[in-house]
């Protein structure tokens, strides 16, 4: 077993070797511009892009490949979806509904739109990390033009009831954007069954390369019209101009193809590993809490809070040999607990001692066993130094005797 172990697959995933192999020719012999229509270099590039587009469309059950718009990643996709609807429909209404635990790419876009005259409702979540559909229904007004709620959360892995959200949106004639970055390629995403109009995807979260993503834009029932962010040569149905990153798109397509074939088996394997990790840690340690619903959750995600330890020492102890994170990668530089954990109302103590384990395709049972041992030993060491923990033990022993 090689150290350090990578267990931070919500931050990014390694490129699958099969993906890299598929990409390589497009850096070399097949270097053409997919928009060159007069020669074979261009045609070959365009053919490769079309194949990739079709695979990505298939992965999310889009009606046609044209509904896939390539972007530089999901940050851009989130911006394009939300600002695209806002600009296109501002005459119709200026109200957007989202959730308090969205990725920063959604939240910061909404905050920006608030400075431009839009009103945004940030739905709270319950202890399990789930929005309440009643809150959503109550928030809708005649001015609501967009609901943007993620499928799987990047910190706690909790899955929102997207099909129900889509049904509500459809009944009220409101567009539904879903940031499905953490879900696509890991669990089934069906844009038609889930009644989604816009869906953000990122290749580097599903074993593809960084710097490439997509926005699914529904073409029918209803046609979803958005304004572009980037103007230029009219690529991607005019929604995203700029020469296509052909090698990255080919890799993205290969990653989608692999996911289609392997998702079912792989997600079952990850769920087993995740449960082994959770049970292994909770068997050896008391006062360990799972953050977010265990039931409505990505198979590869485990987010735990450890009572009676100091958060930073805990993380330092673990990350010597295991790459995990606390909070989200973007906010972990600050010692403030993440807004996602805050939204769960765990209380100060537990907010500061969370660890996110993100299991992925190349993690093994041996790595999970090692992780259990390491985490248990670090936590035991830290607790041995904690007066508060000793006091709590005494109290519990007393009340047990009574």
Ligand X SMILES: *Cc1c(COP(=O)(O)O)cnc(C)c1O
Q: Which residues are catalytic?
A: 330
Please report the sign of the dihedral spanned by the C-alpha atoms of residue 74, residue 79, residue 84, residue 85.
positive
What is the Cα–Cα distance from 277 to 191, expressed in whole angstroms? Answer: 32
- Residue number with CB closer to ligand X (162 or 181): 181
Is residue 302 classed as helix, strand or coil in its secondary structure?
A: strand
| Contact status: 351 vs ligand X (CB under 6 A) | no
CB of 285 to ligand X, least distance (A): 28
**71 or 121: whose CB is closer to ligand X?**
71
Give the number of residues in contact with ligand X, rule: CB under 6 A: 14
Three-state DSSP at 361 gives coil
> Can you tell me the distance from the alpha carbon of 108 to that of 103, in angstroms, rounded to the nearest whole number?
9
- In contact, 73 and 210? CB cutoff 8 Å: yes
Q: How far is the CB of 256 from ligand X (least distance, A)?
A: 15
Q: Determine which residue in the list 113, 150, 244, 350 makes contact with ligand X, applying CB under 6 A.
A: 150
* Candidate ranges 47-55, 162-170, 174-182, 342-350; the one touching ligand X (CB under 6 A): 174-182
User: CB of residue 156 vs ligand X: minimum separation in angstroms?
Assistant: 11
SS3 state at 345: coil
Q: Would you count residue 338 as binding ligand X (CB under 6 A)? A: no
Based on the shown chain and the rule CB under 6 A, indicate whether residue 303 belongs to the binding site for ligand X.
Answer: no
CA neighbours within 13 Å on the CB side: how many for 205? 24
Contacts of 131 (CB under 8 A, 6+ apart): 99, 123, 124, 125, 149, 160, 161, 165
Residue nearest to ligand X (CB): 73
Tokens for 357, please give them: 């384990």
Selected range binding ligand X among 41-49, 175-183, 247-255, 267-275, rule: CB under 6 A: 175-183
Of the residues 55, 186, 195, 205, which one makes contact with ligand X according to CB under 6 A: 205
User: In angstroms, rounded to a whole number, what is the distance separating the alpha carbons of residues 26 and 226?
Assistant: 31
For 70, the token pair is: 């390539």
Report if residue 103 touches ligand X, rule: CB under 6 A. Answer: yes
Taking CB under 6 A as the criterion, the residue among 149, 181, 187, 244 binding ligand X is 181
184 binds ligand X (CB under 6 A): no
Q: Which of 82, 105, 215, 281 binds ligand X (CB under 6 A)?
A: 105
d(C-alpha 114, C-alpha 106), whole Å: 12
Q: Looking at beta carbons only, is 131 or 372 nearer to ligand X?
A: 131
Binding residues among 62-81 for ligand X as defined by CB under 6 A: 73-75, 78
3-state secondary structure 238-304: HCCCCCCCHHHHHHHHHHHHHHHHHHHHHHHHHHHHHHHHHHHHHHHCCCEEECCCCCCECCCEEEE
List of residues contacting ligand X (CB under 6 A): 73-75, 78, 103, 105, 150, 154, 179, 181-182, 202, 205, 213
């Amino acid at each position: 077993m090689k150290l350090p172990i990578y267990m931070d697959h919500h931050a990014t995933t390694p490129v699958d070797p099969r993906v890299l192999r598929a990409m390589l020719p497009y850096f070399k012999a097949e270097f053409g511009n997919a928009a060159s229509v007069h020669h074979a270099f261009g045609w070959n590039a365009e053919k490769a892009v079309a194949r990739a587009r079709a695979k990505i469309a298939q992965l999310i059950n889009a009606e046609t490949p044209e509904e896939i718009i390539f972007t530089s990643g999901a940050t851009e996709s989130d911006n394009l979806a939300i600002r695209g609807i806002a600009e296109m429909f501002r005459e119709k209404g200026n109200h957007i509904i989202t959730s308090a635990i969205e990725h920063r790419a959604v939240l910061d876009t909404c905050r920006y739109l608030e400075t431009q005259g839009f009103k945004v409702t940030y739905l709270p979540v319950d202890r399990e990390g789930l929005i309440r559909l009643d809150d959503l229904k109550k928030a809708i007004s005649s001015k609501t033009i967009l609901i943007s709620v993620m499928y799987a959360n990047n910190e706690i892995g909790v899955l929102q009831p997207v099909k129900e959200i889509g049904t509500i949106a459809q009944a009220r004639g409101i567009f539904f954007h879903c940031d499905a970055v953490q879900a696509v390629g890991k669990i089934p995403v069906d844009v038609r069954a889930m009644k989604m109009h816009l869906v953000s995807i990122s290749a580097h979260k599903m074993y593809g390369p960084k710097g490439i993503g997509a926005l699914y834009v529904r073409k029918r029932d209803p046609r979803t019209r958005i304004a572009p962010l980037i103007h230029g040569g009219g690529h991607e149905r005019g929604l995203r101009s700029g020469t296509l990153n052909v090698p990255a798109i080919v890799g993205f397509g290969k990653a989608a193809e692999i996911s289609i074939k392997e998702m079912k088996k792989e997600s079952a394997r990850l769920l087993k590993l995740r449960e082994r990790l959770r049970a292994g840690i909770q068997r050896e340690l008391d006062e360990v809490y799972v953050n977010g619903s265990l039931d409505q959750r990505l198979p590869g995600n485990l987010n735990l809070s450890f009572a009676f330890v100091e958060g930073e020492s805990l993380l330092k102890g673990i990350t010597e040999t295991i790459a995990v994170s606390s909070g989200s990668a973007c906010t972990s530089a600050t010692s403030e607990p993440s807004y996602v954990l805050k939204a769960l109302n765990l209380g100060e103590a537990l907010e500061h001692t969370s660890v996110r384990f993100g299991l992925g395709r190349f993690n093994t049972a041996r790595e999970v066993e090692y992780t259990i041992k390491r985490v248990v030993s670090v936590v035991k060491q830290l607790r041995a130094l904690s007066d508060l923990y000793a006091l709590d033990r005494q109290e519990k022993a007393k009340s047990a005797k009574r």
